[in-house]
Structure 1
Amino acid sequence: MKKEFRVKKNKEIQDIFKNGKSFANRQFVVYALKKPGQAHFRIALSVSKKLGNAVTRNQIKRYLRQVFLELEEDVYNDYDYVIIARKPAADMGFHEIKGSVSHVLKLARVLKKAKTSNTSQQ
């Protein structure tokens, strides 16, 4: 994930927590804060030590980055996101994580409705 796609500063992350809206399912919590005029969305990932060892935590983070890479066209660009992984995420594979994150982003109403490519293939 490119540097400009990441939220790294603690002050910015705290701003997302305080002023953003939160949406959750069993596996993930997503905080979304609208940033008008931003060229591209930015994300911050949080995976607690309670979820497992470093290998497990890094795998979850890799999966989350890949999900956002694949959903890049479908996610609104003028938002900052903080994604917090919950305990059930440790036992999930990539496709399960992608489905779960997509579900939370739909709840947050930050996914574009451009899913017409699926219906045109039928």
Structure 2
Amino acid sequence: MRKSFRVKKEQDFQAVFNQHNSVANRAFVLYKLDKPGQKHFRVGISVGKKIAHTAVLRNQVKRYIRQSLLELRSDLPAEVDFLIIARQPATSLDMAETKKNLIHLLKLGKMI
């Protein structure tokens, strides 16, 4: 996923958090912020050290999330910034289960 599709700056992360528009399932939490006039969606991904103690595992979870979103890109709305925060059960999921959980989460958030 290109860098233009990512929420990178701390102030952008905080803007989405401060909106307090969130939904969650067992493995992930989704925060979203509508941004009218934006060309495409932007996503921020966070996997904390308390969730996955090694960098290898944190990066694996982030890769699975990015790949799942890349496959779902055509279904996602363009005018939104959203954050995906991993919870503890996300570390034990494989690629197919990660995608299934993300689809469930995005349906809860009314993004698909």
TM-score by length of 1: 0.89
Question: For the residues of structure 2 that align with 1:50 and 1:18, how far apart are their CA atoms?
Answer: 23
SS in structure 2 of the partner of residue 50 of structure 1: coil
Code of the residue aligned with 1:65 in structure 2: it is R
Code of the residue aligned with 1:62 in structure 2: it is R
Code of the residue aligned with 1:27 in structure 2: it is A
Instruction: Work out which of the two has the higher radius of gyration on C-alpha atoms and give 1 or 2.
Output: 1
Question: For the residues of structure 2 that align with 1:44 and 1:23, how far apart are their CA atoms?
Answer: 15
SS in structure 1 of the partner of residue 50 of structure 2: helix
Unaligned runs of 5+ in 1: 112-122
Task: Trace 1:55-74 onto structure 2 (pairs within 5 A).
Answer: 55-74=56-75
Question: For the residues of structure 1 that align with 2:21 and 2:78, how far apart are their CA atoms?
Answer: 16
Code of the residue aligned with 1:43 in structure 2: it is V
Unaligned runs of 5+ in 2: none
* Structure 2 residue aligned with 1:88: 89
The alignment-based identity, stated in percent, is: 50
Question: For the residues of structure 2 that align with 1:110 and 1:91, how far apart are their CA atoms?
Answer: 25
* Structure 2 residue aligned with 1:21: 21
Question: For the residues of structure 2 that align with 1:64 and 1:77, how far apart are their CA atoms?
Answer: 18
**Aligned in 2, Cα 1:21/1:65: closer, same or farther, shift over 3 Å?**
same
CA RMSD in angstroms, aligned pairs only: 0.8
Question: For the residues of structure 2 that align with 1:49 and 1:81, how far apart are their CA atoms?
Answer: 21
* Structure 2 residue aligned with 1:44: 44
TM-score by length of 2: 0.96
